[in-house]
Chain A
Amino acid sequence: MESRFILETKCKRGYKYIEIASEGISGNFNLFKAGKVEEQRLSSRKTKFRTEGLSAWFGSHQALNNISMKILKNEVNAIIGPSGCGKSTFIRCLNRMHEVVPGARVYGHVYLDEKDLYEDGIDPVLLRRRVGMVFQKPNPFPSMNIRENVLSGLKLTHRLKKDEADEIVESALQQAALWDEVKERLNKPGTSLSGGQQQRLCIARSLAVNPEVLLMDEPCSALDPVATVRIEDLLHKLKEQYTIVIVTHSMSQAARVSDQTAFLLMGELIEVEQTNNLFTHPRDKRTEDYITGKFG
């Protein structure tokens, strides 16, 4: 089991190099350049979120315990861990959705661009426009058609002119790789789409508000492999513009799409690492057991 993951991530890396190399005239030189680029990218990494001693409760039940980690800007940050370990709770603390649940509490700090989100005077409503969220189950608004669904977040803030709205609808749907499939039927209800299309509609809906961060809670768990691949491809594109945090049950998905992976266990952060390193050289025994399928 362990070796499979090593193989997979190594393969992935090798594939990247080969791909880049084959593009140029001189393979060797490009290999060298790609290495340099990778190095530069690593050194220029910026932090988008920083949590400090973050703990969260549902009533008297503690779901997160003292989590301190960084979410990197313009990268895909994966959160993995067994069911019930607090992955959803963690990302819901990042856009202050945790406090929507009655009886839920948060302790500690979450800094977004070095500004504490849990300080007095931060309006969660405004924050959520900067930090979008896509849920596990696709949830387009049934009372709205496709177009209205895309615009639903914007309608709240300002009145749009028709051509302005058209433009936003098209670009959001383009970004979510859904435009070609729905451009003929923007007036059909959002719920008339297939599950995978609905999920991409929800992504488009989040993107239309033009957020800085996209939080995704197991966005592919209700989808078939083809739809999953489409969304994974999408993530590669989206991370150029947005910071992405993705919760996933699938370790191969984390390995495929993410740059950094965090492993949570029973509300505690066990390890956060470069995705390659985490899957090839897990530092903690528990991480190793989890990624090799010994428990979970």
Chain B
Amino acid sequence: MKSGWRSGRLLESILKVVSLLAVIIPLLILTFFLITVFLDGESRLVPQFLTSYPSYKPEDAGILPALVGSIYLIILTSVIAVPIGVGSAIYLEEYGNGGWLDNLIEINISNLAGVPSILYGLLGLELFVRALSMGRSLLAGAFTMALLVLPIVITASREALRAVPSSLREASYALGASRWETIWQVVLPMSASGILTGVILSVCRAMGETAPLIFLGALTYLAFLPDSPMSPFTALPIQIFNWISRPQAGFAENAAAGIVVLMVVLLLLNGIAIYFRNKMQKRI
């Protein structure tokens, strides 16, 4: 009896240490990585870096078109992926009856989540760039990215919808609300913060993806900013990838500085997401 209690305690302390290590080790690796990257790119982290176009001289080259391209890309991606993703989540959770069609859709979604991103690039190239003749445009890129992040948006939204207790849905029906009114007035406001988290996560994913964009033919040298969804474009990871593959040491510094910019944008996005989520949760 007594020794059983003791071994329980021992097991608990071991678990505690192991889980603490599991938190600390990745954090250390990440910090180490960030510091090296920052030190490598420090010399190029000047305002001109953000406001210049690429150049064959590393010290003149800047990241402006890539930064703007990335921002346009994620905005367009969200505009496409969020309504479709949240819509399918609502259909599956609130309207679906578990029939064969629902099962088919569900299997497809989990399969899509496991498909390597490079295949999305191929699909985007065939479908959007060629078949739908969008060309190597921002729009084609956004559609491809939207396909890529849809499974994340759908899964996160479904979880958020499922977390709304059914007693609240019943309360709404009993007040004479139709199904749609119930979703709109009761279910969505309560799941908004969860849905938003999923959306931001997927936007961050889209921000960092490189492979599909390489296939789609995002340019690496762009002397102008995209001015319409049909413009050619480039994006941060593409620019970084390009710089890294150049032999000159100066470009390696540029790549490091580019990574720092990308990280800062991602952290900012996450910060915004957390801010809105807390604000929304406070209301609930």
Interface residue ranges, A against B (CB under 8 Å): 95, 97, 100, 102, 125-129, 132-133, 135, 137, 139, 141-143, 152-153, 155-157, 189, 202, 205-206, 209
Contacts and interface: CB of A to CB of B under 8 A. Distances in A.
B175 A128 contact: yes
Interface string B81-122: 000000000000000011000000000000000000000000
Interface string B154-175: 0000000000010110111111
A156 B176 CA distance: 8
A153 B185 CA distance: 10
A152 B185 contact: yes
Contacts of A127: 176
Interface of B: 97-98, 165, 167-168, 170-178, 181, 185-186, 189-190, 283-284
Contact of B171 (A95, A125, A126, A135): A135
A142 B181 CA distance: 16
A153 B175 CA distance: 5
26 contacts: A100-B173, A102-B98, A125-B176, A127-B176, A128-B174, A128-B176, A129-B175, A132-B174, A133-B174, A135-B167, A137-B167, A139-B168, A139-B170, A139-B171, A141-B168, A141-B171, A141-B172, A142-B168, A143-B186, A143-B190, A143-B284, A152-B172, A153-B176, A156-B181, A206-B175, A209-B175
Nearest to A103: B97
Contacts of A102: 97-98
A124 B279 CA distance: 36
A156 B177 contact: yes
A154 B242 CA distance: 59
Contact of B284 (A133, A137, A142, A205): A142
Contacts of A153: 175-177
Given A102-B97, A153-B177, 13 more contacts: A95-B174, A97-B173, A100-B173, A102-B98, A129-B175, A129-B176, A132-B174, A139-B165, A139-B171, A141-B168, A143-B189, A143-B283, A189-B283
Contacts of B98: 102
Contacts of A143: 186, 189-190, 283-284
Contacts of A126: 176
A139 to B, nearest CB: 5
A142 B172 CA distance: 12
A143 B164 CA distance: 11
A27 B128 CA distance: 92
A139 B167 contact: yes
Contacts of B185: 152, 155-156
Given A102-B97, A135-B170, A137-B167, A142 B175 contact: no
Contacts of A100: 170, 173
A124 to B, nearest CB: 8
Given A102-B97, A143-B189, A97 B174 contact: yes
A137 B177 CA distance: 20
A155 B182 CA distance: 12
Nearest to B190: A143
A12 to B, nearest CB: 31
A157 B97 CA distance: 28
B177 A141 contact: no
A156 B186 CA distance: 11
A133 B190 CA distance: 22
B22 to A, nearest CB: 34
Nearest to B173: A100
Closest 10 CB pairs of A and B: A153-B175, A129-B176, A133-B174, A143-B189, A128-B176, A139-B167, A139-B171, A142-B284, A125-B178, A143-B190
Nearest to B174: A133
Given A137-B167, A143-B283, A189-B283, A125 B174 contact: no
A202 B283 CA distance: 19
A152 B171 CA distance: 10
Nearest to A153: B175
Nearest to B284: A142
Nearest to B181: A156
Contacts of B172: 141, 152
B173 A128 contact: yes
A205 B170 contact: no
Nearest to A134: B174
A209 B181 CA distance: 15
Contacts of B181: 156
Q: Which of A133, A141, A143, A206 has the most CB of B within 10 A?
A: A143
Nearest to A126: B176
Contacts of A209: 175-176
A203 to B, nearest CB: 12
Nearest to A128: B176
Contacts of A135: 167, 170-171, 174
Nearest to B165: A139
Contacts of A202: 171
A127 B168 CA distance: 19
A141 B169 CA distance: 9
Contact of A205 (B167, B173, B175, B189): B175
Contact of A125 (B97, B168, B177): B177
Contacts of B168: 139, 141-142
A125 B185 CA distance: 15
Q: Which of B168, B171, B178 has the most CB of A within 10 A?
A: B171
